[in-house]
Amino acid sequence: MTRALSRIAAAGTATAALLIATATPALADSDITLANHRGYMTYIDSVDVFKICDENPDGHGVHGLVHEWGAGTRLHIDDGGDAGCDKAGYNIGSASYRMAFWWDGGESVLYSKNFSE
């Protein structure tokens, strides 16, 4: 009986360790990118930074918003007219957030899925 209980405990421990090992990488991989042929906006979860890049020097820039449901816009970031990309930090909490990204030249707004910490 003791031997059977030891086997069950060992199997339970191994199963728990396997579930933790396989779940951890999926949780860490939560960066989000919205992109079109004009540029992109990325949320880098590990450092709570938003990066936006205008990739088409056509006289128009790109804009992005971080919107918190029920509270409104928390961050506006844009890029265009200068070299390189722009970045801004915003501490994402447990509320539900969504990114919006668009090009000033008149294309549709792109929206991310909802996300939180």
pLDDT tens, position by position, 9-22: 444 444 444 333 33
Clarify whether residues 9 and 55 are in a common domain. no
- Assess contact for 96 and 116: CB atoms under 8 A: yes
Question: Domain for residue 116, yes or no?
Answer: no
The rounded mean pLDDT for the chain is 80
Antiparallel, parallel or unpaired: β 72-79 and 39-44? unpaired
In contact, 50 and 88? CB cutoff 8 Å: yes
DSSP 76: E
Same domain assignment for residues 42 and 92: yes
Residues 23 and 56 in one domain: no
Do 9 and 42 share a structural domain? Answer: no
Tokens at residue 59, please? 């006289």
Do residues 115 and 30 touch, judged by C-beta distance below 8 A? yes
Q: Are 15 and 80 in contact (CB under 8 A)?
A: no
Domain that holds residue 73: 31-111
What pLDDT, on a 0 to 100 scale, did the predictor assign at position 2?
55
Listed residue (86, 38, 37) closest to 59, CA to CA: 38
Number of residues that this document lists for the chain: 117
Minimum mean pLDDT range among 5-14, 26-35, 65-74: 5-14
